[in-house]
Amino acid sequence: GEDVEQSLFLSVREGDSSVINCTYTDSSSTYLYWYKQEPGAGLQLLTYIFSNMDMKQDQRLTVLLNKKDKHLSLRIADTQTGDSAIYFCAETPGGGADGLTFGKGTHLIIQP
Amino acid sequence: GAVVSQHPSRVICKSGTSVKIECRSLDFQATTMFWYRQFPKQSLMLMATSNEGSKATYEQGVEKDKFLINHASLTLSTLTVTSAHPEDSSFYICSARDGTRLREQYFGPGTRLTVT
């Protein structure tokens, strides 16, 4: 079945860039997503990328996709304390019409 | 925009009873809603997909008679956990797909169910 893998923790210093990595196994993935979950809150859609794209940038966020290696990354520039959260990578094969397969989430810890 | 609410946020029920969880899209019409389950320190697992006006599609291993899903309108889907048991205790999260932005799913805040 489909599998999405992420590191469980990432620690960075405030002001540095954070790079959260994700690998997936489903070669039919068409859309890949990044969600943010803050304590006590629901998942917030950060960004998504179509599988025929290599990169997508949105303000401080940069998504890189290596489809050959099935590797997705999320770079957060100038990391702030408000970026502390769990970041979930997710994919769907069905053009967005299907439910998502999630990784276990990466807990981003910000050091002062 | 794109706000999804869930009610209740927390519920405690006794074993053998049924519990209904509501999921509402507040500012858009959701042609499709999804129900997920999240165990502690685990990822979200898709349980079922519901399209307005039709029967839900359940993922393998999810009992459709135990987890009843109704999607009667474009803004409301309900999940009823029937004859709940302690192993049903979990965090249930819904998401809704905006009919005009088909690639985006918006998630509710989740419902913590505890079965005693």
Q: A43 and B93 in contact by Cβ < 8 A?
A: yes
Q: What is the tens place of the pLDDT at every residue in B90-102? A: 999 999 988 777 7
Q: Does B9 touch chain A (CB under 8 A)?
A: no
What pLDDT does residue A42 have? Answer: 85
Q: Does B58 touch chain A (CB under 8 A)?
A: no
What pLDDT does residue B54 have? Answer: 85
Q: Does B26 touch chain A (CB under 8 A)?
A: no
* CA-based nearest residue to B112, from B16, B14, B4, B21: B21
Q: What is the mean pLDDT of residues A45-66?
A: 94
Q: What are phi and psi of A82, to 5 degrees?
A: -70, -10
Q: What is the tens place of the pLDDT at every residue in B28-49? A: 998 899 999 998 878 899 999 9
